[in-house]
Every structure is written in structure tokens, then in C-alpha cells.
Amino acid sequence: MEYGKNVPPLTPREKFSEFLESTYDPLGLSFSAGETLVLEHSPTDGFCGYGHGIGGYAECYGAARLDANVSGFFGDFLFPVWMHQDPRYFRLGRGSIGLRILYAISRVFATRSDTTRHAVFDGSALAGTALAGVMSNLYYPQADRGLGLTMSRIAIDLGGTATFNLAAEFWEDIKTKLFHWKN
């Protein structure tokens, strides 16, 4: 996430560094833990088809983290380097609440070009998300594979991106109003 308007594009090394940092980000780790607990549990086959109890939960959590890491590697590093796109979220920080909500959600599908610095279709992140969804069929149990479940994982990833964008867009306002903290 960036707040500046005239921020220079990231180098390939910086994009890789951003990917590595996001791999072990406490917020992302927590989000995966919550997603696993809430969205991936079924009374019939446990967590992600791995079974009930802590063992099933741990395997499902590992699969969710692998999904996130594959999506991040391709969607936040490799494809952005190839497509000359910036994987960061750039906060709007002004305007009506509705406008800022629409902006944050739209950044799921739009990003900045490294070359023109204008908004472009975020093919790199979307391709990374889709690839992670497809690749998940290699390691999820047979019962949790297939087109419908792949599309569900892609939708969850895109929803998570929108949620993180909204948090990034409004965190400074929340922090300032509730806690009187300023950067």
C-alpha cells in the first residue's frame, strides 16, 4: 500500500521483496487462519476435505497459505515484472466514502502501469489469482477439486483483496479518529 501520488515504480528486486514480506505478514497469516476456520469447514468432510480436528485444520490452513503464496508469487512479483505493472495499492484518501469504497474495490481489477503510471487492467494480479486457483487442484483432496471449487477459491481471493484494499483505504481515517494517531 502506498499513499504518495508520485511514487516511482518498483524494480524487479523490490517487487520480489514485497512478495517475500507479504508471505509472512501477520495480517495475511491471520486472514488465512480465519478463512480456514470460517469458510473452509464442512460438517461432513471437515476442513477443506482434510478431515476434522486440529490435523484437518492445520492441513487446510497450509493449503490456504500455499494458495496465497502461489497467488502472491505470480500475481505480485513475476507477472507484474513481465507486464510492467505495479502490485501495490495506492490509497485515494480523499472524496466521499462511497467514491473511496468504489475506488478500493475497483483496484481489484485495476493497477498502475510501471511505464505510463496510468491505471491499467490488472492482468498480472488476476492471472496470479486464477493460476493459484487452478494449481490448488494439485494438492486439495479429490472431493475439493473441480471447476466450481476452483472458481470459489478465486472468488475468495478476489474478495480478500477487496477487503484488504478497503482496510488500506480507510485505516488512516479510523486510526486518526479513534486513536488520535497520526503518521
What confidence tens digit (pLDDT) does each residue in 54-100 have?
Answer: 999 999 999 989 999 999 999 999 999 999 999 999 999 999 999 99
State the chain's mean pLDDT as an integer: 90
Q: Is the pLDDT of residue 138 over 80?
A: yes
Residue 4's pLDDT is 60
* Lowest-confidence pick of 9-18, 60-69, 98-107: 60-69
User: Distance between terminal CA atoms of the chain?
Assistant: 14
Question: In this structure, is the dihedral angle defined by the CA atoms of residues 85, 91, 92 and 96, taken in order, positive or negative?
Answer: positive
pLDDT surpassing 60 at residue 2 = no
CA-based nearest residue to 76, from 169, 154, 135, 1? 1
Q: Evaluate whether 93 touches 169 at the Cβ level (below 8 Å).
A: yes
Residue 147 is predicted with a pLDDT of 94
Chain centroid offset of residue 134 CA:
16
Rounded percentage of the chain residues whose pLDDT exceeds 70:
95
| Per-residue pLDDT reduced to its tens digit, 119-133 | 999 999 999 999 999
Cβ 108 vs Cβ 122: under 8 Å: yes
Q: pTM of this prediction?
A: 0.84
Q: What angle do CA 174, 21, 134 make, to 5 degrees?
A: 100
Which pLDDT score is estimated for 1? 57
Is the pLDDT confidence value at 144 over 90? no
pLDDT tops 90 at residue 156 = no
Highest mean pLDDT: which range of 11-20, 26-35, 44-53, 138-147: 11-20
What single letter denotes the amino acid at residue 58?
A
- C-beta separation of 103 from 71 below 8 A: no
